[in-house]
Amino acid sequence: MTALQKKSENPVAHLSAQDVEDIGRRLDAIRQEVADSRGAADAAYIRKVIDVQRKIELASRAVLLLSKFPPAWFVGTAGLSVAKILENMEIGHNILHGQWDWMRDPKIHSTTWEWDMASPAEQWKHSHNELHHTYTNVIGKDNDLGYGIMRVDEDQKWIPLYLLQPLWNFVNACFFEYGIAAYDLELGKNLATPERRADPGFRARGKAVLRKIRKQATKDYVVHPLLSGPSFLPTLTANFVANVVRNVWSHSVIMCGHFPEGVETYEKTSIEGETRGEWYLRQMLGSANISGSKAMHVMTGNLSHQVEHHLFPDLPSNRYAEIAPKVRAIFDEYGLRYHTASLPRQVGSAWHKVFRLSLPNGWMAATTPKNAPQQVAKLVQLTTAKPKVRRAMQREWEQAATAA
Amino acid sequence: MTTSVPRRPGLRARLGDRVLSLVEAATTPLLPTDYLDVFAPLRSGADLRGRVVEIRPETADAATLVIRPGRGWREHTPGQYVRLGVDVDGVRQWRAYSVTSDRTRTDGCLTVTVKAIPDGVVSNHLVREMRPGTVVQLDRATGDFTLPQERPEKALFVTAGSGITPVMGMLRNHLDELGDVVLVHSAPRREDVVFGAELRELAAAGGLRLVERHTGTDGLLKPAELAELVPDLAERTTWACGPVGMLEALEEHWAAEGIAERLVTERFRPRVLVTGEGGTVTFGKTGTTVEADGATPILDAAEAAGVLMPSGCRMGICYGCVLPLREGAVRDLRNGELTTAAPGDGVLVQTCVSAAAGPCDIDH
């Protein structure tokens, strides 16, 4: 991706300032309509989901007490994976967004909720609700883009280490909850200097994360295995697998939200003095939806309606499906691209980008089955060359690509 | 001076703590109660809740709710009220209602009687929409509008509208312990009298003297008329419950007669006398800032802004909404009294009857 401001064809160039503000007003109206009609049916929905999730979890953990029998292991692991996914996605993520605060139920409230995840709710709310949702897709501001650990933009300088980023992305997917905790802590930045490492605020937050991780690990890897007695080891592996399944699933869903090819990113300076209409526009073009069944929507925590979620992060998730056609109508009317595709396509597209950017700019586009051996040879040459030589080679390469 | 050596907790208690922390380790980040609530919301040890088992219409706009309380319920003293948390259109709302039940009920249920008031979000919901089986949040009964241990020889009850409810609680439980009882009750029409049939029966049986005042035809009861109806009211201990206007008139009259200490009143709604100046209210812990005007209780302003507030009767009696004011000034909407707090004071204020009088910092 290249920041929208640097693209030769700007997808919003045809909109006047008035158009942008009109879009904002119409989206505000959609928001108000839902806010005004929140009621008993919505409350019943979230209570039902919580109820079902707890029953699935209890049943799965009960089945896992006998996990030394393979069928019990499989059923229990599958059930626990589903329960953990529901808990993180449709329940935890959305409650922590304040989507259900209007119910004034202290048991289902963003200020009191804690979730089954390495990052404590308090820290995640800050980095997610405040930073990611405010600075969505702004390069250098939105950590969710992943530039801290990956090359996610053509303008980011390529170094040979990035060749490993598909592998790194996969590892991050498997242990995603720890990745999230690390980035809520801004671990990379805060471990960089002795002063930052010694900062009392950082240390307190770090301790809170470690405490949370210890509790989570004790639950899944000590207490429940011990309760299983002779099934100690199978229960431990079952819990591990359920955590990995949940991590890979949520990583995939989140990659689909902002990472597929064609989703726009923004330069830091572009959001200075941004109006509400412009903020909406950035969310519209910076998010991608996943199409699919009702069950898929629930399992993604309705983040399959990423566009609607980013426009209205605090509206109850069960209402996104209902407003999606109205939102889409606005896209169509103003000639904007409503980014939506099936789950396999979006995941594929996001991974395509991970691979593409792991390689030097232009390499993938220039490679065909016929010239593949030469291209690989060039890549090896580039990787092993000294930095100065490498940079010169890359420049040459890019110029060739532009000329072509 | 005596010193007490702190006793080590018993073996059972220590064992219980161990087991509890083990169970907590198995349910973290949730608590064991979160799972138990799925199956047994009324069990002992749970947050106090109740299940509505029956709704009995009393008049066209009043109904009695029969509620089976959870195990944590403690028996009420007749005349007291209970705070009820009800989800109306999905939103948790708390209100206080007088307990009207006979304590000798064998089914362990309690009753409250609710009169739908115009535009009353909760009262209309309870009277018209509530269905048996619904679980409501409860608090233990509280309130000082009760009979003294030493029952008065002669008692007078002056009530109007739903003001009969706490008195009905007293009559159902203690009428035979009272000597001479007069009840003067006002309602717009005969058919609007809540518990009308029961009261008339009690009167017919000679348990009390009932004076029904139908304000639709007779007009509002004035203290002077009351003195005519009950010539010996100065000799009686009087309990009054009803609209603010009536209570104020009675209080004035009793004070003028020099017998103010013989009158006990119970208000169902705050009387708003003044407005504050308004101001910016900051909730430090939740990180929310609210612009509140001088006529809006801080509680209402905060809830409108999405802050999860403790709340109760919403009329300044139950203290369920009290929060520390860290700094700033608030004005009591009932009497205009100004409460100020300097940093570190943490003065407790009732948010349901206090409006901002300048910038306020509330510890919540």
Inter-chain contact B28–A215, Cβ cutoff 8 Å? yes
Exposed, middle or buried by CB within 10 Å (0-12, 13-18, 19+), for B316? buried
Q: Look at residue B2 and tell me whether its pLDDT is greater than 60.
A: no
| Chain B residues lying within 8 Å of A58, measured CB to CB | 35
Correct CATH for B154-267 of 3.90.226.10, 3.40.50.80, 3.40.50.1370, 3.30.420.40? 3.40.50.80
**Using CA of residue B263, residue B264, residue B266, residue B267, what is the dihedral sign?**
positive
pLDDT score of A147: 66
Q: Look at residue B8 and tell me whether its pLDDT is greater than 70.
A: no
**A193 in contact with B at a CB cutoff of 8 Å?**
no
At A195, phi and psi to the nearest 5?
A: -60, -45
Inter-chain contact A104–B303, Cβ cutoff 8 Å? yes
Q: Which residue intervals of A65-119 are DSSP H helices?
A: 70-86, 94-96
Better pLDDT: A388 or A3: A388
Cβ neighbours of residue B139 under 8 Å, at least 6 residues apart? B48, B82, B83, B84, B85, B312, B320
Q: Look at residue B7 and tell me whether its pLDDT is greater than 80.
A: no
Which of A42, A54, A107 lies at the smallest CB-CB distance from B90? Answer: A42
Inter-chain contact B90–A216, Cβ cutoff 8 Å? no
pLDDT score of B64: 98
Beta strand pairing status for B91-98 and B237-242?
unpaired
H, E, C per residue of chain B: CCCCCCCCCCHHHHHHHHHHHHHHHHHCCCCHHHHHHHHCCCCCCCCCEEEEEEEEEEECCEEEEEEEECCCCCCCCCCCEEEEEEEECCEEEEEEEEECCCCCCCCCCEEEEEECCCCCHHHHHHHHHCCCCCEEEECCCECCCCCCCCCCCEEEEEEEHHHHHHHHHHHHHHHHHCCEEEEEEEECCHHHCCCHHHHHHHHHCCCCEEEEEEHHHHCCCCHHHHHHHCCCHHHCEEEEEECHHHHHHHHHHHHHCCCHHHEEEEECCCCCCCCCCEEEEEECCCCEEEEECCCCCHHHHHHHCCCCCCCCCCCCCCCCCEEEEEEEEEEECCCCCEEEECCCCCEEEECCCEEEEEEEEECC
Please provide the CATH number assigned to the domain covering B49-138: 2.40.30.10
Inter-chain contact A227–B26, Cβ cutoff 8 Å? yes
Exposed, middle or buried by CB within 10 Å (0-12, 13-18, 19+), for B7? exposed
- Percent of all residues in chain A with a pLDDT value above 90, rounded to a whole number: 74
Of the candidate ranges A327-341, B252-266, B346-360, the one whose mean pLDDT is the lowest: B346-360
Beta carbon pairs, A and B, within 8 Å: 65
Confidence of residue A366 (pLDDT cuts 50, 70, 90): confident
Confidence of residue B302 (pLDDT cuts 50, 70, 90): very high
Reported as a single tens digit per residue, the pLDDT across A126-155 is 999 988 999 998 888 887 777 677 888 888
Reported as a single tens digit per residue, the pLDDT across B9-19 is 677 888 888 88
Both tokens of A42, joined, read 């919505």
**Radius of gyration of chain B measured on its C-alpha atoms:** 23
| Chain B residues lying within 8 Å of A114, measured CB to CB | 29-30
Residues composing chain A: 404
Do B169 and B79 meet the contact criterion of CB atoms below 8 Å apart? yes
Inter-chain contact A219–B303, Cβ cutoff 8 Å? no
- β-partners of residue B200 are none
Average pLDDT over residues A63-82: 98
Which DSSP string do the residues of A277-317 spell out, in sequence order?
A: HHHHHHHHHS--EEE--HHHHHHTTTGGGHHHHHH-TTS-G
**A54 in contact with B at a CB cutoff of 8 Å?**
yes
Is A146 in a helix, a strand, or coil?
Answer: coil
List residues of chain B with CB under 8 Å from any CB of chain A: 22, 25-30, 34-35, 38, 87, 89-93, 286, 303, 306, 308-309
Is A351 in a helix, a strand, or coil?
Answer: helix
Residue identified by tokens 């390529």 is: A158
Residue A310 identity: H
Q: Among A197, A203, A149, which Cα is nearest to A176's?
A: A149
CA pair distance A168, A149, nearest whole angstrom: 9
Of the candidate ranges A225-234, A323-332, B61-70, B289-298, the one whose mean pLDDT is the lowest: B289-298
CA B97 to chain centre: 5
Q: How do the domains of chain B map onto residue ranges?
A: 49-138, 154-267, 279-362
Q: How do the domains of chain A map onto residue ranges?
A: 4-342, 362-403
Better pLDDT: A150 or B100: B100
Q: Among B69, B78, B64, B66, which Cα is nearest to B113's?
A: B64
Q: Look at residue B269 and tell me whether its pLDDT is greater than 70.
A: no
Reported as a single tens digit per residue, the pLDDT across A5-20 is 778 788 899 999 999 9
Which of A51, A109, A115 lies at the smallest CB-CB distance from B38? Answer: A51
Both tokens of A233, joined, read 């080891």
| Chain B residues lying within 8 Å of A227, measured CB to CB | 26
Which of A103, A107, A222 lies at the smallest CB-CB distance from B91? Answer: A103
Reported as a single tens digit per residue, the pLDDT across B311-362 is 877 877 777 788 999 888 999 888 888 888 888 777 889 999 899 998 999 9
Beta strand pairing status for B135-138 and B81-88?
antiparallel
| Chain A residues lying within 8 Å of B92, measured CB to CB | 103-105
CA pair distance A135, A268, nearest whole angstrom: 9
Both tokens of A101, joined, read 């605060």
pLDDT score of B272: 60
Q: What is the dihedral of CA A240, A49, A111, A30, to 10 degrees?
A: 120
CA pair distance B205, A390, nearest whole angstrom: 107
Average pLDDT over residues B57-71: 96
Reported as a single tens digit per residue, the pLDDT across B211-232 is 999 999 999 999 999 999 999 9
**A109 in contact with B at a CB cutoff of 8 Å?**
yes
CA pair distance B66, B57, nearest whole angstrom: 11
Reported as a single tens digit per residue, the pLDDT across A51-69 is 999 999 999 999 999 999 9
Query: Residue A163 has what DSSP assignment?
Result: G
Which of B26, B34, B91 lies at the smallest CB-CB distance from A104? Answer: B91
Better pLDDT: B95 or B1: B95
Both tokens of B152, joined, read 């008065």
Is B339 in a helix, a strand, or coil?
Answer: strand
Which of B22, B38, B89 lies at the smallest CB-CB distance from A39? Answer: B89
Inter-chain contact A104–B92, Cβ cutoff 8 Å? yes
Taking every pair of Cα atoms in chain A, the longest distance, rounded to a whole number of angstroms, is: 69
CA pair distance A252, A48, nearest whole angstrom: 26
CA pair distance B345, A91, nearest whole angstrom: 39
> How does B120-155 read in b/e, with b if 16+ C-beta sit within 10 Å?
eebbbbbbeebeeebbbbbbebbbebbbeeeebebb
Mean pLDDT of chain B, nearest integer: 91
Q: CATH fold of B279-362, please?
A: Ubiquitin-like (UB roll) (3.10.20)
| Interface-testing mutation among A104, A110, A211, A226, with chain B (most B C-beta atoms within 10 A) | A104
Q: Among A113, A98, A119, A128, which Cα is nearest to A257's?
A: A128
Do B96 and B313 meet the contact criterion of CB atoms below 8 Å apart? yes
pLDDT score of A7: 80
pLDDT score of B5: 52
Cβ neighbours of residue A108 under 8 Å, at least 6 residues apart? A46, A47, A50, A95, A100
**A158 in contact with B at a CB cutoff of 8 Å?**
no
pLDDT score of B271: 58
Which of the residue ranges A321-330, A386-395, B320-329, B341-350 has the most confident prediction, judged by mean pLDDT?
A321-330
Confidence of residue B1 (pLDDT cuts 50, 70, 90): very low
Residue B321 identity: C
Element (H, E) at B85: strand B81-88
pLDDT score of A331: 97
Residue A233 identity: L
Mean pLDDT of chain A, nearest integer: 93
Average pLDDT over residues A238-250: 98
